[in-house]
Amino acid sequence: MLMLKKLWHIIKNEIKNSHNIEILDQIKVKYLGKNGIFNNYMKNLKSFSFEEKKKYGVIINTIKKKTISKINEKKTELNESILKKRIQKEKIDVSLPGRCIQNGSIHPINHSINFIQNFFNKLGFRSVNGLEIEDEYHNFDALNIPKNHPARDNHDTFWLDENRLLRTQTSTMQIRIMKSEKPPMRFIFPGKVYRNDYDSTHTPMFHQVEGLIVDKNINFSHLKWIIYNFIYSFFNKKVSLRFRPSYFPFTTPSSEVDIMSDSKKWLEILGCGMVHPLVLKNVNIDSNIYSACAFGLGVERITMLRYGISDIRSFFENDLRFIKQFKYI
């Protein structure tokens, strides 16, 4: 009897001094678990007389119920304390103005790329994305770009090692597609390209769309028809265009296309030409049977002209005020 009273005193003190739920759970297992102290007491009653079993059984069960009640009270107290601390830590001032989450809109670059893809899709072109990390062969050699060309220099190109680089043009996909597909073919290749340049009209990363047609009897007049119709459609009006003879290692003849700006100045917007026979030879296409034309345009450049944007860096500053200016139909 004295031992049981002493046990209850010990239990009360242990519960009172438990300062977290984990310790309280350990006390519960210690006294009330399957192999706990109360169960062991009940097992030890087997050797007692019937009267003693009845007497001590009542006492043990009474203390056991009081222990359960005390543990539940302490658990409630601890949970309330935890909640109170959390409320203090996470409390907010409801009188403060709310934080407004602003929504943007479609980025003008994405809108232009979508427009270009839709336009050329109607002409039977397939759109293919390509690798942004390229090798020297696909970026330069296969495109007939000589070893001493300035585009291969470190101040123009981001080299990763002696052979790999961040592609400087989407023309690399011309080579990969012509190696894997058979003529006739019509493709455009939209994507990011990288050049070591940064000012109000150039950024180290920008977007290009390359176009390619390989078929029998393709000539420069087909290329001009496509470019005229694309430019008229993109700017939603007939604008003044001129084709100016130029030089690209991978096309011959080659031309740059200029557009008359609102300030009455000619601005170059894309390059184009007939694919060089050596490039066709590099991909095992017989230039005596097939001819090919290609064009490449800078998405940022024509988007700037379309919306009257003066600084290309505005596209990449993540300013929602800039993005919200554009309303698309």
- If one compares 99 and 205, the residue with the highest pLDDT of the two is 205
SS3 164: strand
- Report CA-CA distances (Å) from 234 to 124, 167, 185, 299: 18, 26, 24, 11
The DSSP symbol for 149 reads -
- If one compares 28 and 214, the residue with the highest pLDDT of the two is 214
Residue 5: band (very low, low, confident or very high) from pLDDT cuts 50, 70, 90: low
What value does the mean pLDDT of the chain take? 87
Structure confidence at residue 317 (pLDDT): 85
Instruction: Kindly state the tokens that stand for 177.
Output: 């597609």
DSSP per residue over 147-192, as a string? Answer: TT-GGGSTTTS-BSSSSEEE-S-TTHHHHHHHHHS-SSEEEEEEEE
pLDDT, tens digit, 9 for 90 and up, residues 19-61 = 888 888 888 888 888 788 877 777 777 777 777 777 777 777 8
The DSSP symbol for 107 reads -
CB 222 within 8 A of CB 244: no
Structure confidence at residue 63 (pLDDT): 81
Structure confidence at residue 110 (pLDDT): 92
- Measure the N-to-C terminal CA separation of the chain; round to a whole number of Å: 90
Residue 2: band (very low, low, confident or very high) from pLDDT cuts 50, 70, 90: very low
Sign of the four-CA dihedral 200, 246, 268, 301: negative
SS3 70: helix
For residue 253, say if its preceding peptide bond is cis, omega within 30 degrees of 0: yes
pTM for the whole structure? 0.66
Structure confidence at residue 43 (pLDDT): 75
Q: Which of 49-63, 142-156, 217-231 has the highest mean pLDDT?
A: 217-231
Residue 201 has pLDDT above 70, yes or no: no
Instruction: Kindly state the tokens that stand for 128.
Output: 């293919």
Span of 71-75, 132-136, 153-157, 231-235 with lowest mean pLDDT: 153-157
Residue 100 has pLDDT above 80, yes or no: no
Structure confidence at residue 228 (pLDDT): 95
Structure confidence at residue 56 (pLDDT): 73
Structure confidence at residue 298 (pLDDT): 92
CB 222 within 8 A of CB 213: yes
Share of residues in the chain with pLDDT > 90 (%) = 40
pLDDT, tens digit, 9 for 90 and up, residues 250-283 = 999 999 999 988 788 888 999 999 999 999 998 9
Residue linked to tokens 């007389």: 49
CA distance 207 to 315: 11
For residue 184, say if its preceding peptide bond is cis, omega within 30 degrees of 0: yes
